[in-house]
Structure 1
Amino acid sequence: MPAKVAALQVRGRFLTVLALRIDTDRADGPFYAQLDEQFRKTPQFFSGAPVVLDFANVPGLDDPDRIRELVDNLRRRELRVFGVQNAPGFDEAALQTLGLIPVNTGRDAPLPRETTPAPAAAAAPRPAENKVIRSPVRSGQMVVAEHGDLTVIGSVASGAELVAAGNIHVYGSLRGRAIAGCHGNESAHIFCQDLNAELVAIAGLYQTSESLEDAARQRCTHIYLEDEKLRMEVIA
């Protein structure tokens, strides 16, 4: 008898998702004017990226009609909105009619209802799984270190993407995207010998090529978070 071939496979997939935080309960003309200006400045950043709406700062914005209008306006701007976060009062059935799902971030996951009976029964922390790439990263490549640091011994081309739970080290020119602290680690750092990146981000805070500090461009640079802002320190 011929061997049976599985008709499907279930695999995990790491995706870079943008969170659009809504800071006003009035999504009106000024709101869309600011959004359109952001698109004009950084069109490549939003192109094709999946988007989650973050309502942490506007917990009262839970009217389905207002949310529908917001989502329709964003999708007309070709934003691929698929979910919401920090919206505990939203009715899931109403969200489904809008083609949205609730998305829980790692920080917002509920604590378990039952504690372990003794410390000895607690699971050991997962060891870091650092990754070292000993060649240049070409345009279109995506390299992920989901549980540790990522080191590239070579350059990172425009259109390439580095993602790490911990720090990112690039011993060469960084022209693509570098996303450190991807699970929310605000103590993560980015180091590179030549900063000319399309985007750098730590724990969700980012700057694009248009907003990089001029003093750090094409210099050996250390990037870190301080007071909820990205700082860039020229090393040499």
Structure 2
Amino acid sequence: MPEADATQTSQCFQLKGANVSLTALELHFFEEDAFEETLRDKIRQAPGFFRDIPLVVSLEKYEGPTAELDFFKLIGICRRHNIHVVAVRGGDEDQRRLARNAALALLPATAQREPRAPEPAEEAVEEAAPTTPDPAPTAAGPAPAAARLITQPVRSGQQVYAPEGDLIILAPVQAGAEVLAAGNIHVYGPLRGRALAGVHGLSEARVFCQSLEAELVSIAGHYKISEDLQEQGWKQAVQLQLKDDLLVVTPLDK
């Protein structure tokens, strides 16, 4: 085989799309000592969860002066605690320039979804329309995204993702596994790994499970770790939902 042909059939690497869950640190201001002390408190709550995780710094609610935003110090603090800052989300041009100088990737700000207001022109047409029999009903829009159904246990190290709709699992989710969905997550068995619902920002998403034993549950970026979850509904059939930006656990029999 010619050398050129061999090179084409045996490439050093390939690029493929991947869905990877990341933890976002929502930064309000940066002061070195306060930042490290707060980080230590978070790590004390769940040492295993924070070890070697990739972190995205979100600047969407940053209120401090840009001059105090020292990414090199922030990265250094995180590395001392085995946390790896990989990117910045949002921020203005000066803040993103500082992030680029610190060799961080740049992610766009989260899209803000607002309800669509009725258009006056459409209302005027409705008022002027004559009283004639309604036409036969037609489709009212695109069909909802189909749920993804999993019938086998989700084992440690596995990740299952439903990028558009709900995720339904008719088996246990083992410790060390991760399940993610744009919509709701239903686990008809013990939930021992990590469950992240509403990953695109759907705050109405919920997590349902037959036995809450999770390492972490997140809805639209708001999360609770195992130590917090054990305070209510532990090893019971529950649903988890957001109420006033707080993750609330409710038994399914109520």
Q: Which residue identity is paired with 1:22? A: L
SS at match of 2:211: strand
Structure 1 counterpart of 2:16, from 11, 16, 33: 11
For residues 154 and 60 of structure 1, the distance between their equivalents in structure 2, rounded to whole angstroms, comes to 47
Structure 2 counterpart of 1:21, from 20, 26, 31: 26
Runs of 4+ in 1 over 6 A off after TM superposition: none
Residue 195 of structure 1 corresponds to 212
Residue 244 of structure 2 corresponds to 227
1:132 CA displacement: 0.6
Distance change (3 Å), C-alpha of 1:178 and 1:155: same
Distance change (3 Å), C-alpha of 1:106 and 1:91: closer
Q: How does 1:1-236 map to 2 (within 5 A)?
A: 4-5=8-9, 7=11, 8-23=13-28, 25-63=29-67, 66-90=70-94, 92-107=96-111, 127-236=144-253
TM-score by length of 2: 0.79
For residues 10 and 134 of structure 1, the distance between their equivalents in structure 2, rounded to whole angstroms, comes to 30
| 1:52-89 deviations in Å (ceiling 9; x for gaps) | 11123324432277332222222222211011122113
1:152 CA displacement: 0.6
For residues 73 and 82 of structure 2, the distance between their equivalents in structure 1, rounded to whole angstroms, comes to 14
Residue 118 of structure 1 corresponds to none
Distance change (3 Å), C-alpha of 1:31 and 1:65: closer
Distance change (3 Å), C-alpha of 1:212 and 1:61: same
**Contiguous gaps of at least 5 residues in structure 2:** 114-140
Q: Which residue identity is paired with 2:33? A: G
**Contiguous gaps of at least 5 residues in structure 1:** 110-123
1:231 CA displacement: 0.9
Distance change (3 Å), C-alpha of 1:65 and 1:155: closer
Give the count of matched residue pairs. Answer: 221
- Name whichever of 163-172 and 74-83 sits farther off: 74-83
> Which one has the bigger helix percentage?
2
| 1:116-155 deviations in Å (ceiling 9; x for gaps) | xxxxxxxx86851421111211111111111111111011
Identity across matched positions, percent: 35
TM-score by length of 1: 0.84
**Does the aligned pair in 2 maintain the 1:187–1:225 contact within 8 Å?**
yes
**Does the aligned pair in 1 maintain the 2:32–2:74 contact within 8 Å?**
no
1:213 CA displacement: 4.8
- The two structures, once aligned, show a CA RMSD in angstroms of 2.3
Distance change (3 Å), C-alpha of 1:81 and 1:216: same
- Name whichever of 5-14 and 154-163 sits farther off: 5-14
**Does the aligned pair in 2 maintain the 1:129–1:145 contact within 8 Å?**
no
Q: Which residue identity is paired with 1:216? A: G
